[in-house]
Chain A
Amino acid sequence: MRGAKSAKWVAGAIVVALAATACGGNDDGGDKPKASGKPAGYVSIDVGEPQKALIPADTNESLGSYVIQSLFTQLLDFDADGNIVYTNAESIETKDSKTWTVKLKKGWKFHDGTPVTSQSYIDAWNWSANIDNKMQNAFWFEDIKGYEDVHPEGEGAKAKAKEMSGLKAVDDTTFTIELDKSVPYFEYKLGYATWAPLPKAFFDDPKAFGQKPIGNGPYSFEKWTHKKLIQVKANEDYTGPNKAKNKGVQFKNYATVEAAYQDVLSGNLDMIRQVGPKDLPKYKSDLGDGAVEQEYAAVQSIVPAFYTKQWKDVDPKVMQGLSMAIDRETITKTVLNNTRKPAKSFTPPQVKGNQDLDTEVFDYNPDEAKKLIKEGGGVPDNKIFIQYNTDGGHKEWVTAVCESIRNATGVECLGDAKPDFATDLEARDNDEVKSFYRGGWVADYPLNVNFMRELYGTTAEANNGRFSDKEVDELFKKGDNAKTLEESIKLYQEAEKVLVEKMPAIPLWTYQINGGHGKDVDNVKVDFHGDFEVTEVTVK
């Protein structure tokens, strides 16, 4: 096996070297045609190389998600307003928010022709949740009864069972999900791509599947030229509501957003997800009608590390004061080029349960800021840091926020630059943040719950600031135990009002997409978490 591989490698290297030499020698004049090579009716978008193989439960970054979303259809999806739209599910019902009955639409098929059945879902979820399979998104299944058997806690843990007892097929198109306890918003979680069904072919060879996935979605897989291009073809037999309105999609990899943008201008690329800072000031005049500007459900904040000496026993008034020292209005308009909207609460306006908090804590007011900080006993050391990663375009706003705080209150504020995201995360995981870190959260599902429970609950995994408050935990728990979704959202709204008094983080602004498309395509829309609805795009 190894020997074969090495022989192939050497042969490959020789071929490459020869090809390159040949070109270098005498091919200078040979003008190849412009290498877009896009079949008629296809649309193209700048989506780079996914980090991992294309398996729904192992994909959590935006590039891979784009491709997964086009190949797979889960039980349900959300419209632009965050309302549930059933896709593969006919209905999902529950009486007690604990046992959920799913009915599938009949006649659905995977791209290889095999039917999508209850078992396709149950097998997929059982496999994905299994700790031995090391799927990134396994924790998404933790609400299901029997999860701790397939995914036990602790070091070196091995799965004790292959199946979660909570999943039961009733017939080919009906199955039930029993949860550990009632979760009123469980249905919303099902919209995440991790919950996609998998065909039989997957279980035979997951590794090969990841390179050549077979889904049940609006597009079927065509080819993947690594680091360059992924191409998918419209699925003619697809019967879901999001049937493709184009013939196929090319996901093209660009080294920089600037390069992608230039390709949109020159017609080599149809859609760009986000215009880079260099072109932002001019993109509306460049693209005209093609400019796409839309807010979506994501919040950026600066989060105090409550385990530090500085913030251990901080009076929330100090946080409120710091919050009021940040001129969100001016910073979003200047440094951020209108790519963000000032935050007015802990949740973005696009999620259910977002509310007007009736507070001045998020308004810029230097005098009030100074007063509050003084009342709260001042900032220990009179100096704060904001930790950020330099590879993510955060430097500019961190500097601006710091300067705003420094100018308004006299508190020294400095950026704490980490060279990349990996280093930034390690410092957060190991409780090594000096003062504040930059936090960003994009909605997994369009409910206010997602922006509080996952971030500020004492045991929440993404609570890297280690905020812990009994009253808040209690309120979250009450929301989780609510009988209906509406009640749950309401209870979380109550909790958010308390958060303003406790200030587990300082929300800064919500996100906005500033993308665009070229002249060849139309109907480019954005979904609730900021992705283009690729299926809706039409070719002119």
Chain B
Amino acid sequence: MSEVKIYFNNIWLAFYTAAVGMRRTFLHLFTPAVTIQYPDVKLKLPERARNRLYVNIDDCIGCDQCSMACPVDCITIQTIKGTPDQDLGTTSTGQKKRLHVPLFDIDIAKCCYCGLCVYPCPTECIVMTDVYEFSEYDRSNLIYRYSIMTPQDIEQAKEKLKKSEEEAAAKKAAAATAAAAAKLAAPATSAPAAPAKTEPINPSPDAPGQAKS
């Protein structure tokens, strides 16, 4: 192309391409907007969307597996062993609850929404919901406390456990003394006082729990 031709061609192209673009934008003036008016209209989340954690504490057996699975340690669980005479009820999946859960805290500010805590739960009591609007002015409000036990309940449970442990220890001690007595009885001498006194100190309060679990 000669210089002159290029010159006029450029001018033609400038107008032509501008016209193409402006036609396109003009058509877009009348296409419906894709905007979602968020607080008024919300998109439906996908079925497996992972958002705020929820714990159905009635179903929790205090197994601590969710807390162990958590990569950022945002779940804190404490348990108190139930005593044999107590019936803590069953979960909706029919599992028997054996532990009180006096503390089940989730620091949702730390949570990374990986969902790893959901899978190990044997009773499916920790789930990810589709709630995503839970900002707070104070960070401490983001620690969700799921335990429904009151301080009195916790106190009672602890006392009960202590008592039952003491009873168990006493029983054990008694059994031990009895055994010792029986042993001693065989050689036909009597010195039962000494072992009965020392024995109850031996088992520490959590020793039976560890042994059992």
Q: Do the two chains bind? A: no
Tell me the A residues contacting B by CB distance below 8 Å: none
